[in-house]
Amino acid sequence: MLRLLTLVRPKVLSLKNTLTRRVLLKRAPFIAAGIGFWMLLYLGTAKVLGFVREIPFLGEMLSAKLLSMTFFGLTGFLILSNVITALSSFYLSKDLPFLLTKPVEVRDILRLKALETCLNSSWMVISFVPPLFLAYGISYHAPAVYYLAVSLTFLLLVLLAAAIGICVAHILTRFFPARRIRIVILGAGMLLFLIFYFMTKSVIPQTAAAPEDLFRSLISFRTDAPFLPGYWITETLLPLLRGKAPDVFYLLLLLSNAAFFSLLSFSAGRSFFRGNIERLQPSGPGPGRGISGRAYPDRATAVLYKDVMVFFRDTGQWSQLSITGLLVLVYIYNFKTIPMDAMAGLTPLIKELMLLVNMLLAGLVLSAVAARFLYTAVSLEGEAFWIIRTAPVNISRFLWSKFLYGCAALTALIVLVVFFTNRAIGVTGPLMGISVGTTGLLCISVCGLGTGLGAIYPKFRYENIAAVSMSLGGMVFMLLAFLVVIVTLSLEAWAFFLWHAGPETEGKVLIGICTLLIAAINAAALLLPMKIGAKRLAEYSP
């Protein structure tokens, strides 16, 4: 234990040394954005819960189902995230050669890496779920013991997921090299998502005649099998929410499983870690000259040439690109199978509403994909960024080239998605034009925001580029991008509502103001971060 504390100490000290007053002040906007997101999540959950609980007969069941589905999803996400993080932490991290050449027992390295894995893979979930549980507690007027129970059960779930994830990582590395496994796991995650998705689709009838049919189908979706940790947590928390005594059996079940899997993961580590480390080999032979051998870039295409080469050789990149592609296909399929008849009873403007939902969802997909590929575009240079900084390259032009190539590809993808999904729900004519035009505008502004913020907060030292998009800066970008999308679409929806109500003079003025505001917000989202980003990069010292 003492040795573990010694090993953890440098990491704690590094964190402490980073958290100076100046850094905290610099991060104040991030903290404010995080608090804003918390509030939005709380308000959103409270609103949904309020609506759901008022549905006659089904309300309480739906509310319990939503809680159960949340834990079901969180368990899957945490286990998958732990497997990927454990692979990096135990087998790919840069401090391994240092640790392995010091007089440190393997068991202490295993403990240190287990702690790292658990914290690194869970911090984001731990940071973002409290408003959700708070909304449940307040909605049900739960006693203080509920908050204690929710903290304890969630902590046990985090430990259990980490232990399972670490176990799987050790066993997989026994059979495959670690770098390949990470891709295998990403593929497995994608498969799990698709299974989950099609299971969901299969329980929602495409020919439902009324909204109640959708709710009934949702309730029948089995996320609460007795052998799942999510079920144990739901069974512990629900009685507390309803003012009854909790079922301690399920809490003990969770505790014993967390303890058992922790021991199992440690045992798997003792058996496999040393052998796995010794079997890890450096990369194989080079790719040969191929097509790239004949291509000679010029000054304008130099960065593109280099980025394309690096992108397609980095298996972590293309595996995520394929995941994105599959998600987009699922997205389009989703719109083709929307039960429009069942939803027509909700509002007469169902087509317009679905168009708005489509653009909103496309905006969210755009933000997520931009976070992964545009926000990381500058950081992708890594520690080789000195090459750009010492070359006769205008940094502003370098940044715009990063923006242009990424934006062109992403705009083409998202605009096509919106076009085909609009067609799937029967949108044509001027509405189609406005929708595609707005999506194109959002693509440009969100890509500019991503590239610019990525340049303002570059992270050139990383072990996995995907982690850069999950950093604090990446999260802030996602929140700001959501904000741009939501504000733009809200203004456009309002303008549409005014136009639909009748072409009064006052309405025309307001529509004009909305259009100007949309233009101003999107221009600011594009230009300001790009300008500040170029300035920051020009001053950056690698």
Partner 1 sequence: MIILDNITRSFDGVRAVGNLSLNIARGEVFGLVGPNGAGKTTTIRIMTGLLRPDEGDVTIGDFSITREPVKAKSILGYVPDRAFLYEKLTAREFLKFIAALYGMERSVTPGKIEALAGTFGIGDIMDELIEGFSQGMRQRLLFAAALMHDPKVLLIDEPFMGLDPFGVRMLKDFIRDLSAGGVTVFLVTHSLHIAEELCHRVGFINKGALTAVMTSEEIGKSEGGLEGLFLSLGD
Of 105 and 383, the one with the shorter C-beta distance to partner 1 is 383
What's the token pair of residue 134?
């708070």
Give the footprint of partner 1 on residues 486-505 (CB under 8 A): none
For 457, half-sphere exposure in the C-beta direction (CA atoms, 13 angstrom radius) is 21
Q: Give the whole-angstrom CA distance, residue 367 versus residue 321.
A: 15
Rank residues 95 and 212 by Cβ distance to partner 1 and give the closer one: 95
Comparing CB distances to partner 1, the nearer of 68 and 317 is 317
**370-399 binders of partner 1 (CB under 8 A):** 382-384, 386-394
Least distance to partner 1, CB of residue 492, Å: 42
Provide the minimum distance between the beta carbon of 138 and partner 1 in the complex, in angstroms, as a whole number: 46
**6 part of the interface to partner 1, by CB under 8 A:** no
Alpha-carbon span 64 to 542, nearest angstrom: 52
Residue 103 or 288: which CB sits closer to partner 1? Answer: 288
CB of 397 to partner 1, least distance (A): 10
- Smallest distance from partner 1 to CB 319, Å: 15
Minimum Å gap between C-beta 79 and partner 1 is 30
Residue 71: CB atoms within 10 Å: 23
Closer residue to partner 1 in complex, CB, 303/427: 303
Shorter beta-carbon distance to partner 1: residue 79 or 178: 178
Residue 382: DSSP 8-state? G
Nearer to partner 1, 292 or 490 (CB): 292
The structure tokens 């991030």 sit at 30
Contacts of 204 (CB under 8 A, 6+ apart): 214, 217, 218, 339
Residue closer to partner 1 by CB (options 186, 465) is: 465
**How near is the Cβ of 388 to partner 1 at its closest, in Å?**
8
# of chain residues touching partner 1 (CB under 8 A): 37
CB of 329 to partner 1, least distance (A): 28
How far apart are the two ends of the chain, measured CA to CA in Å? 38
Rounded alpha-carbon distances, angstroms, from residue 63 to 58, 70, 215, 400: 9, 11, 11, 48
Handedness of CA 102, 106, 110, 112 (dihedral sign): negative
| Residue 302 binding partner 1, by CB under 8 A | yes
C-beta of 307 vs 352, nearer to partner 1: 307
Question: In the window 277-296, what residues touch partner 1 (CB under 8 A)?
Answer: 282-283, 285-289, 292-293, 295-296
Is residue 520 within the footprint of partner 1 (CB under 8 A)? no
423 interacts with partner 1 by CB under 8 A: no
Contact 147, 137 (CB under 8 A): yes
Return the ∠ at Cα 105 (arms to 102 and 108), rounded to 5°. Answer: 105
Residue of 177, 297, 339, 440 that binds partner 1 (CB under 8 A): 297
Q: How far is the CB of 289 from partner 1 (least distance, A)?
A: 5
Is 49 or 465 the residue whose CB approaches partner 1 more closely? 465
92 scored as a contact of partner 1 (CB under 8 A): no
CA gap 404, 394 in Å, rounded? 15
Query: Per rule CB under 8 A, is residue 97 in the interface with partner 1?
Result: no
Query: Please, which of residues 307-336 interact with partner 1 by CB under 8 A?
Result: 309-310, 313-314
| Distance separating alpha carbons of residues 94 and 88, to the nearest angstrom | 9
Cβ atoms of residues 511 and 499 within 8 Å: yes
Closest among 153, 130, 146 to 239, alpha carbons compared: 146
> Which stretch, 44-52, 60-68, 124-132, 300-308, contacts partner 1 (CB under 8 A)?
300-308
CB-based burial of residue 129 (10 Å sphere; 0-12 exposed, 13-18 middle, 19+ buried)? Answer: middle
Instruction: In angstroms, give the least distance from the CB of 438 to partner 1.
Output: 37
Asked whether position 17 contacts partner 1 by CB under 8 A, the answer is: no
- 509-514, long-range: CB < 8 A, 24+ apart: none
Q: Which residue lies nearer to partner 1 by CB, 224 or 381? A: 381
CB of 388 closer than 8 Å to CB of 381: yes
For residue 70, the SS3 value is helix
Residues within the interface to partner 1 (CB under 8 A): 282-283, 285-289, 292-293, 295-299, 301-302, 305-306, 309-310, 313-314, 382-384, 386-394, 539, 541-542
